[in-house]
Amino acid sequence: MVQPLPVMAKLMMAIGTMAQSSAPAAPTLVIRGALVWTANDQQPQAGVVVISGERIVAVGDEALLTGLDLSSARVIDAGGRRLLPGLIDSHVHLIGGGLGLTQLQLREAGSREDFIQRINEWVVDHPSADLKSWVLGRGWSVESWPVEQQPTRQWIDTVTGDRPAYLIRMDGHCALANSAALKMAGITHETTDPPGGQIIRDEQTGEPTGLLTDAAMELVSRHIPKPNPETRLAAAKAAMRLFNQQGVTTVHDMSNPEDIVELYTLAGEGTLRVMTYMQSENWIQGPRPSGPDATCKVGEPTGFWSWLGCKGYIDGSLGAKTAYMREPFSDNSEGEMHNRGILMPFAEAVRAEGIPGLPEQLRFAAEHRLQPTLHAIGDEANHLVLDQYEQIFKATNIRPRIEHVQHLLAEDIARFAQIGVVASMQPLHKADDGRYALERLGAKRCRTSYAFRSLLESGVVVCFGSDWPVVSNNPFEGMKAAVTGLTLEEKVFVPEQNISIEQALRCYTCNAAYACFRERELGQIQPGYLADLIIVDRDPLTIPPEQLSTVGVDVTIFNGRVVWNRNSE
């Protein structure tokens, strides 16, 4: 159980300051011979970390160990390897990602032929006597294919047959459904587009092509059978194990309210392996998370999880051309000359049928001290959110967040710090979007895309995450994108927004801790902080930045316990 801050303060008083040469008499874990990057400006480097239970009690050099009884402690000799704070992924979909680990993965598909072949192989390897058994997958995008042709249902009908198929694009804002899935959902050429989404249609026949964007995806996805509790619990465990392997000890989970059941189950079993901060996908005045501690206040820990607030969608994505921009996309065809993306229904100031509009939702959040977490990708979407936040949250300490913050108007960059808005960004998305953003937005708008450096230089708190399973949850791949500006095609995109590796590390540690109200006990290596640490096989602070994605995690320590050891797996 996480100790409250008053206990932490008493512990720090008992052991003295970080500079002392002795430690408590009963350490449970000692790491020595390390190159410690502490993220603590008062003591940036060290060689030894002493842990008692779940807390760090001393940080310093070998003198800390003089006369110390280590007979009951586990001692890890880092052998000169780099020791870092446990990394924090500020935007994940924990159980959804875990469920996806057993589904069809299409990220590596490199052409139309390869795409169809991978689907065919998966269907052959996963036969089903039940024709209602779905073919589910995700990760495809066409921007790196020799021919950038969008897929259609006819492509996959030949290999999926009568089994319904639903394949989510890389960014999660577009999906391809086969004819069987469209039939099950009742989608025909007469079906109207839902608010906030589009049924893509053949320009000649008007028939659905199988592609669905944003809100239109729900027309099919709601027919997919829900996984049973045992499957969901296994998915949560698999996801946490994968995060530990990547050196991640805390996540900000953009979850569904029902996910709380699995978190409670795991907490009761004592098998939670990552600290989880929940941002419910249902909005503030919609259904609330349920459970014995679902009413916990913002930032108040409940075991190894805490409910911080709720998430809402303002727009879509650049890849699906549903990000809401001030000006139309540069690569619009004649049939979509004025397309500048879409606003989701949630973004409306006034909603029909008595549903609260955006301003009312945000005022409710302010009154109840709930942290709003709004998805905004396009420059105009971010501008609209900043306008609302400035009116409602500027004089508060609720730390409102914008998720993604991918494309900004130049005049809006400084406003984040002025209002106190956390920019929650996913640098690996830059490596993805950088393949086609210049064509879609033009050079001028791209200069303030993924504005990591400009935001940090303006004093903005920037935290990093992955948006897993949209992209890899390996934080070192994200660091490479933030530091080098290299795309998935190894071409440089917007290098003027590149940052240093130390800045990137802070975005994954102390900045991310601030974003979830835990900067006093997470994200740094110093006495009194939780003992979440990782030992890596290569030093990210000294290797060429282009090699950051090759860094591997040898040991992950969560809450004072080793939860991943590469040598013993």
Answer yes or no: do 490 and 396 share one domain.
yes
Answer yes or no: do 469 and 336 share one domain.
yes
Percentage of the chain beyond pLDDT 90 is: 71
Whole-number pLDDT of residue 545: 98
In a domain, 21, yes or no: yes
* Least confident range of 17-26, 240-249, 318-327, 499-508: 17-26
The string of DSSP codes covering 139-193 is EE--TTSSS-PPP-HHHHHHHHTTS-EEEEETTSSEEEE-HHHHHHHT--TTPPP
Neighbours of 223 (CB within 10 A): 16
Whole-number pLDDT of residue 301: 43
Whole-number pLDDT of residue 277: 84
Statement: residue 172 has pLDDT above 90:
no
Residue the block writes with tokens 């000294």:
542
Whole-number pLDDT of residue 19: 34
Answer yes or no: do 49 and 22 share one domain.
yes
Answer yes or no: do 317 and 297 share one domain.
yes
Whole-number pLDDT of residue 289: 42
* pLDDT tens profile 339-365: 999 998 888 876 666 678 889 889 988
* Interatomic CA distance for residues 42 and 48, integer angstroms: 16
Nearest to 422 by CA among 442, 445, 399, 388: 399
The string of DSSP codes covering 419-440 is HT-EEEE-HHHHHHHTTTHHHH
* Least confident range of 125-129, 280-284, 340-344, 461-465: 280-284
Whole-number pLDDT of residue 255: 80
Answer yes or no: do 177 and 257 share one domain.
no
CATH number, position 103? 3.10.310.70
* Least confident range of 220-229, 279-288, 370-379: 279-288
Whole-number pLDDT of residue 283: 56
Taken in order 464, 468, 471, 475, the sign of the CA dihedral is positive
* Torsion (CA) 198, 201, 207, 210 in degrees, nearest 10: -70
Last residue of a domain, one of 478, 499, 519: 519
Last residue of a domain, one of 221, 255, 279: 221
In a domain, 353, yes or no: no
In a domain, 360, yes or no: no
Whole-number pLDDT of residue 569: 64
CATH number, position 56? 2.30.40.10
Statement: residue 522 has pLDDT above 80:
yes
Statement: residue 288 has pLDDT above 90:
no
Statement: residue 48 has pLDDT above 60:
yes
Statement: residue 229 has pLDDT above 50:
yes
Answer yes or no: do 309 and 245 share one domain.
yes
In a domain, 228, yes or no: no
Whole-number pLDDT of residue 438: 96
Statement: residue 174 has pLDDT above 60:
yes
Answer yes or no: do 435 and 318 share one domain.
yes
CATH number, position 331? 3.20.20.140
Statement: residue 502 has pLDDT above 90:
yes
* Interatomic CA distance for residues 105 and 531, integer angstroms: 35
Whole-number pLDDT of residue 175: 95
| Residue type at 271 in one-letter notation | T
* 187: CB partners within 8 A, 6+ apart: 177, 199, 208, 219, 220
Whole-number pLDDT of residue 304: 65
Our count of domains for the chain comes to: 3
3-class secondary structure per residue, 278-340: EEECCCCCCCCCCCCCCCCCCCCCECCEEEEEEEEECCCCCCCCCCCCCCCCCCCCHHHCCCC
Answer yes or no: do 196 and 253 share one domain.
no
Answer yes or no: do 507 and 532 share one domain.
no
**Confidence tier at 201 by pLDDT (50, 70, 90):** very high
In a domain, 363, yes or no: no
Which residue range forms the structural domain that includes residue 419?
234-345+374-519
Average pLDDT over every residue of 528-541: 97
**Confidence tier at 270 by pLDDT (50, 70, 90):** confident
Answer yes or no: do 273 and 286 share one domain.
yes
Taken in order 390, 395, 398, 399, the sign of the CA dihedral is positive
**Confidence tier at 263 by pLDDT (50, 70, 90):** confident
CA angle centred on 469, ends 106 and 194, rounded to 5°: 85
Statement: residue 5 has pLDDT above 90:
no
Last residue of a domain, one of 166, 193, 221: 221
Statement: residue 461 has pLDDT above 50:
yes
In a domain, 284, yes or no: yes
CA 146 to chain centre: 30
In a domain, 227, yes or no: no
In 458-562, which ranges are continuous DSSP H helix? Answer: 475-484, 501-507, 510-515
In a domain, 359, yes or no: no
**Confidence tier at 203 by pLDDT (50, 70, 90):** confident
Answer yes or no: do 76 and 121 share one domain.
no
Q: Write out the H or E segment, with its range, that includes residue 89.
A: strand 87-92
Neighbours of 291 (CB within 10 A): 16
Question: Which neighbouring-strand residues pair with 375?
Answer: 313, 403
Task: Name, of 275-289, 294-308, 323-337, the range with top average pLDDT.
Answer: 323-337
Whole-number pLDDT of residue 9: 32
Tell me the average pLDDT of the chain.
Answer: 88
| Residue type at 218 in one-letter notation | E
Statement: residue 411 has pLDDT above 70:
yes
Residue the block writes with tokens 């391809």:
176
Whole-number pLDDT of residue 4: 31
* Least confident range of 175-179, 333-337, 497-501: 333-337
* Interatomic CA distance for residues 43 and 418, integer angstroms: 29
Nearest to 208 by CA among 183, 235, 225: 183
> Is 72 in contact with 26 (CB distance < 8 Å)?
yes
* Interatomic CA distance for residues 385 and 401, integer angstroms: 10
Whole-number pLDDT of residue 256: 77
| Residue type at 169 in one-letter notation | R
Answer yes or no: do 2 and 144 share one domain.
no
